[in-house]
């Protein structure tokens, strides 16, 4: 859960300080920043963000190769509208995670397929994704 409020005399949070949804590290099944409010086909983000993930992994080849299934969900709003589960986006999918040892640490490489099972008009969808690196969000 994230919430942003304007500071000082400004009555709006600047676009570069807003929250966004979409992409392999935020909301799988949607393009990078592909889920959320837009103006003139440009992402404007939101001041309130709810997001979460339910994920299950299992070993396919010890710790090197793992299978994964997941459900990601999230919502962006401007903070003035009433909360509603109807506005949530949901992606459901699966894939594999390959852990490549780099300097004694496993570097995860994930390849996933996700179906955006709940989306809004104007959302940009990304079914297949490839992600390299540690999850730092």
pLDDT tens figures, 101-110: 988 888 999 9
Sheet holding 48-61, edge to edge: 2-3, 48-61, 65-77, 89-102, 105-118, 128-132
Which residues form the domain of 94? 2-132
Identify which has the larger pLDDT, 54 or 80.
Answer: 54
Q: What is the pTM of this model?
A: 0.85
- Inside any domain, residue 111: yes
What is the CATH classification number for the domain harbouring 100? 2.40.160.50
Residue 137 forms part of a structural domain: no
User: Using one digit for the tens of pLDDT, what is the confidence trace for 1-56?
Assistant: 777 777 777 778 877 888 889 998 889 999 999 998 888 888 888 888 899 999 99
Question: Are the C-beta atoms of 88 and 120 separated by less than 8 Å?
Answer: no
Residue 81 lies in a domain: yes
Number of structural domains found in the chain? 1
- Is there a domain that residue 28 lies in? yes
In this structure, is residue 85 part of a structural domain? yes
Q: pLDDT digit string (tens) for 110-126?
A: 999 999 999 998 899 99
């Amino acid at each position: 859960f994230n919430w942003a409020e304007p500071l000082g005399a400004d009555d709006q949070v600047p676009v570069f300080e807003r929250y966004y949804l979409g992409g392999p590290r935020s909301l799988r099944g949607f393009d990078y920043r592909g889920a959320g409010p837009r103006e003139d086909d440009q992402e404007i983000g939101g001041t309130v963000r709810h997001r979460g993930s339910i994920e299950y992994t299992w070993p396919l080849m010890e710790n090197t190769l793992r299978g994964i299934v997941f459900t990601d969900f999230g919502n962006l709003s401007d903070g003035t509208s009433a909360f509603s589960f109807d506005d949530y986006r949901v992606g459901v999918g699966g894939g594999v995670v390959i852990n490549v040892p780099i300097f004694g640490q496993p570097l995860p490489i994930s390849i996933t397929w996700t179906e955006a099972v709940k989306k809004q008009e104007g959302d940009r969808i990304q079914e297949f994704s490839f992600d390299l690196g540690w999850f730092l969000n």
